[in-house]
Amino acid sequence: MVKLIGKKKIKVAVFISGTGSNLKSLIKFSKQKKSPITIALILSDNKNAVGLKYGDVFKIKQKFFNFKNKTLAEKKILKILRNNKINLICLAGFMKILSKTFIKKFRGKILNIHPSLLPKFKGLNTHEKVINNKEKYSGCTVHYVNSKLDSGKIICQKKVKVKKNDTPISLAKRVLIQEHKLYPKAILKIFNL
C-alpha cells in the first residue's frame, strides 16, 4: 500500500501502449489541488504510441522500452523507477503483461484500468465479448494488479448501459468517457480522500 506523508505528492509512473487518453486525464487530474499525485514519468512499450506526445505537451519525462526481451526491459524499468523515486504505477492502456517478479517488487503499488465490469471479460477484445454475449451492461474497473491477469482487488467500477445497436467501437467510446472519470476517483479512494 502507498501512504501519503504530509502534503508531499506521490510520484507516479504511467505505463501506456497507445492513444493515452487515460494518461491525459490522469495528468489533468494530477494538476488539481486536491490530487495526491504528480505524474513524474511516462513509459511505453511502443515507441509510436500516440500518448507519448503528452510527455512533450506537459513536459513529463518519457521513455520507451523494448519488451522483446521482457526480463531486460523490466530490469531497466525498475532502475528508472528507483532513480525517479516512483511510488505508484498506473497502467493505462498498457498492453503487456508484467512478470510476477516485477509485480512482487511493486506489490500493492500498481493499478490498472480495464474496460469491463471485472471479473467479467478479462483480457483482450472486451467490447466484442460484451456485445456477443448480449450483456445489458458493461463498464470499467480500476483494480490493483496482482500476478493473475485482471484479477487483483477491485477499487471501483462504473456501469455503462449497452445499447441495442452498439458496436464494439461505439461501446468503447462511451466506456472510455467513464474511464477518464473513474481513474482519478480510484486514486482519491486509495488515499482515503
CB of 95 to ligand GAR, least distance (A): 6
CA nearest neighbour of 51 among 104, 91, 8 = 91
If the CB atoms of residues 20 and 184 are measured against ligand GAR, the closer one turns out to be 20
CB of 89 to ligand GAR, least distance (A): 14
Can you spell out the DSSP letters for 106-144? TTT-EEEEESS-TTSS-SS-HHHHHHHTT-SEEEEEEEE
Any catalytic annotation for residue 114?
yes
> What is the binding site for ligand GAR (CB under 6 A)?
16, 18-22, 51, 92-93, 113-115, 176, 179
**For residue 14, which amino acid is it?**
V
If the CB atoms of residues 19 and 146 are measured against ligand GAR, the closer one turns out to be 19
If the CB atoms of residues 36 and 139 are measured against ligand GAR, the closer one turns out to be 139
CB of 51 to ligand GAR, least distance (A): 6
Q: What whole-number distance in Å separates Cα of residue 92 and Cα of residue 87? A: 16
CB of 16 to ligand GAR, least distance (A): 6
Run of H or E including 131: helix 126-132
Residue 51: helix, strand or coil by DSSP? helix
Q: How many C-beta atoms surround the C-beta of residue 105 within 10 A?
A: 15
Q: What are phi and psi of 167, to 5 degrees?
A: -110, 165
If the CB atoms of residues 85 and 133 are measured against ligand GAR, the closer one turns out to be 133
> Residue with CB nearest ligand GAR?
93
Assigned C-alpha cell, 9 = 505528492
Set 114, 127, 143, 180: catalytic member: 114
How far, rounded to the nearest angstrom, does the alpha carbon of residue 110 sit from its chain's CA centroid? 9
Give the residue numbers marked as catalytic. 114
